[in-house]
Amino acid sequence: WDVVRESFHVMGYTIELMVAPWSRSMLYIKKRKADFIFPATKTQQRQQLYYYSKEIVDETKVVIYFNPMSDFQWNGIKSLDGLVIATVRGWAYGKIWEASTAIVKDPSSTILQGFKMLDKGRVFGVVGYEDSFDYILKKQNLDQNYQKTPPLDFIADYIIGLKSNKNMRCINDFDHGVQKITKNGMLHQLHKRWEDSIIINNKN
């Protein structure tokens, strides 16, 4: 959010933030109740309908959460062949995940529903964005209940909007804004602020 806000502000835009679940956010975009959505990963299907920024908003690590009592041995994504893994419906997990057809992918409606499926033994694991999922688990005091694999992919997040001349101009301005805040040091300050927050939180 900080990156998006500062990049648009430096280009002279006034913006309004709306926070909503992914599926509802996509509905807002399609009905033109909102102009852009972020963070969004790239998929072939989305690229047919939406303009993507060239500059990234953030980068996400994709990991698999599983029962720590399992004797599972991680040896790359092929280790998951034939296993049932919970996903969040409508979310994208990168090209490596999309290309893995031997994994049985079982969609859930929410992050926590996926973990409930894991607790009940309905799935072997849950695929997720490490920072977001760790945050949710910690808020629910569940962060010690699961083990996770090393990152199976690193995927970039972008800001996207339906294809139109207006949206193309706005996204181009966003890209120029990111370049400006990179050049003037603001982007570095934003990253440093969040790194310091993470260190403080971890100490607590």
pLDDT value of position 203 = 40
Contact 160, 130 (CB under 8 A): no
pLDDT at residue 163 tops 60: yes
Pairing of strands 104-108, 37-40: unpaired
Structure confidence by residue, pLDDT tens digits, 8-60? 999 999 999 999 888 899 999 999 999 999 988 888 889 999 999 999 988 88
Average pLDDT over residues 117-145: 93
Element (H, E) at 131: helix 130-139
**pTM score, whole prediction:** 0.66
* % of the chain surpassing 70 pLDDT: 95
Neighbours of 30 (CB within 10 A): 11
pLDDT value of position 193 = 74
Average pLDDT over residues 82-93: 92
Q: How confident is the model at residue 77 (pLDDT cuts 50, 70, 90)?
A: very high
Structure confidence by residue, pLDDT tens digits, 195-204? 555 444 444 4
Distances (CA, A) of 165 to 51, 162, 171: 10, 10, 10
